[in-house]
Amino acid sequence: MESSTTCQIDLKALEQGRSIFEFDLDDAFFRSLETAEVQHGQLKTTVTVNRTGDCFDIDFHTVGSVAVPCDLCLDDMEQPIAADGRLAARFGDSYAEEDDLVTVAEDEGILDVAWFVYESIALSIPIRHVHAPGKCNPAMIGMLEAHAAARSSEDKAERPVDPRWAALSDLKLED
């Protein structure tokens, strides 16, 4: 078992059978990918490579947490992550990606799984992320409620009643 901070695997150097790699992912990992969605986190990824001839079955399992902005108060919150991914690789003339099959140039033989790991992390983040009840920034929630109340009163005041329907408001319904 090898532990590393880069996510490169030398496929040519692997022996037949199963090999396990561990990668510690931190803020430097996310900065190196230059993505806007996730910038901070502490995760551990275990990559299992099963080599059969020149074909490789690659499974990766990632656990940890990332910091994402809360949709209500915009403060950073810790989002737990548990992500799994699977990938197949083989040797070929040049690098190519087709769905979950990656062709690695045989003369190079190195596969960087960083982007594949990041994709599994990003896909495991819920669409809506909010703090637990009572954990949001109270100042921001107060401002949000004040603006929401002012906006709803403006909407009611600005809507004129259609004259065709004005007569209906005079009707009294009996139960």
Q: What is the pLDDT of residue 36?
A: 62
* Band (90; pLDDT cuts 50, 70, 90): very high
30-89 per-position pLDDT tens digit: 888 877 678 889 999 999 999 999 899 999 999 999 999 999 888 999 999 999 999 999
In a domain, 22, yes or no: yes
Backbone angles phi, psi at 4, to 5 degrees: -155, 165
In a domain, 69, yes or no: yes
**Domains held by the chain: number:** 1
Q: What is the DSSP string of 122-157?
A: HHHS-SS--PPTT-S-HHHHHHHHHHHHHHHHHHHH
**Structure-token pair, residue 160:** 């004129």
Parent domain of 97: 2-124
In a domain, 143, yes or no: no
97 alpha-carbon distance from chain centroid: 21
Backbone angles phi, psi at 41, to 5 degrees: 175, 165
Q: What is the pLDDT of residue 55?
A: 92
101-143 per-position pLDDT tens digit: 999 998 898 999 999 999 999 999 999 989 888 888 888 888 8
Containing 120, the helix (H) or strand (E) segment is helix 114-124
Given a cut of 50, is residue 99 above it in pLDDT?
yes
In a domain, 85, yes or no: yes
Calculate mean pLDDT across residues 17-42: 88
